[in-house]
Structure 1
Amino acid sequence: MSAKGYLSLSEYYRQRYGKKVYKVPIDAGFSCPNRTSRQEGGCVYCSGSGAAAAIAAENSHDIATQVIRNIAYLKRRFKAEKFVAYFQAYTNTVGTPAQLSELWQATLDQSADFIGLSVGTRPDCLPDEILDVLCEFSRRGYEVWVELGVQSLKDESLQFIRRGHSVATALDSIARLRHRSLNVCVHVIFGLPTETLDEAVAHVQQLGEAGIDGIKIHMLHILEGTDLATLYHANPFPMPTRQEYAAAVASAIATLPAHVVVQRLTGDAPAHEVLVAPLWIADKMATLREIELAIERLYAVV
């Protein structure tokens, strides 16, 4: 564990490869089955353009062009040396094994500097035959990660946000990934009105005990035009302050095994959307500073 009090993604890559490694975000044109083939209308916090709309807008080109442009930018801006192909937008495991294998390999073939593959998806969109394809990429020498939108380990919360899967499904998907020695990074949301921050911290501890390799923590934010905004305008519910959120994040990462890579401490409110609440999330740097202070205070007490 670093002096930060946790293992960051950049530190993980530096220790593993001795080089600057960056993720190359890719939009492969997928959608989300929770939006397109179910009656719920998608997750309650998802805007009409989708949770990944900003990514799609930035990457509105064919995959080869996305790779070339993003790698050039990362080399110029951050002096990046090696890269991970990050299929980030929407649900990236919807397809046949042959289709996905061809897609992922064709993308990795775009640059000899790709050392890994990271695939964002949902717990209910991980059939065994897709996991077998991911294992094949691992056998070829690529570092493979699956980013899993778990969001909460409370069924009441998953039902409130209309997630479309259960806690049992999420834990089963983690177990199946671990059985195949595939790296799993879970996404969780803090600040849901159906659970306390203490419960969210306990969920992170449970995920650590389940064997996750990485985690991204997001604060619930409400965007105008979403069903969540409609609910909030009709019946506002209390949301954590920046200080409360930071203290909870610090407590959560303190429960994790030292090897777990903390890939994100707070999310971004999309620039093209109107933020309803909490307004403090718009200042990401202030939130990160508050989390750093909370971690320092926590370790000073320990």
Structure 2
Amino acid sequence: MINSSCSTTLAKKIYEEIFYLEPLQDKIDLDGYCEKKLKIEFPNLSDPEIADELENILEKVKFRINKRKEYCEKQCIAPEYELAEYPPNLLLHYSFKYNEPPLLSFLRKQNRQVLKGINEMSWDSFEYLCKHLLEINGVKPLTLTKRNQEGIDFCGLYDIGSYTTYSSSMIIPKTFTIKIVGQVKHYPIEKIKPREIKSFSTYCDDVKNEKERVIKKLPTWFNEAKRPVLGVFITLSAFTRGTIGHSENEWIVLRDGEQVVEDIIKSPYSENWVKSIGEKLTFDKESFLKSFEKNNT
């Protein structure tokens, strides 16, 4: 028998191995995978002992898989894998389970390569990528500001009314728009801390209160739109817990690296970033990076 600490450590190791497989698999037999790892880690266990430990390991691995799914649902991104309803303990890649189009399925499996490509972008290119993501998600018109414009990297209008249903249109009119102001941080590793959100929140308040030193640097069409203001903060890394809590209190939308990748692989131009060699698809990082160079946007 193995103790609880060892089984927890092994379950974590199995979970991390599965999620960092290259390439990600369509289907994984979790029973067989865990049994194989048990035999490798504990070669002295008999077959009956392996069978006894297997259920415990499986439950701990599935717990981590379900926690990841819950997190992804909250972030509005797709998890890498989900458990099949039947047969039990069969792990399915998200694209395979929901029969996503081949191009999207391929890019989803290449998400780490896509993120790596974004990490290699210049600061300017990353801002253009963020502009593209906002535009394809309905923020139009949208303008990138000049550097050091009182903490505002972009501003635009979001036609939120066009996304309302018939039943909700009595609350949100079809013509309702909001003003978007945002900040972009090209930080591949360092997590965003509360002080950065507090600083950005101050800039958002200045826009809301029409402070002259701020709004004079923003477009006329933006200033003339008398609408509510929403802050959007985009980074390649992640946010500390304190940052997330503060942003919710200040009504600031946060987008991290995983969310950026989720959005970019759904771009209508994504076919330009994939090339085929024979029957094999490959992610064309060079074309991807060129798409967001200043002269190509």
TM-score by structure 2 length? 0.28
More helix by share: 2
RCO higher in structure (CA 8 A, sep ≥6): 1
TM-score by structure 1 length? 0.27
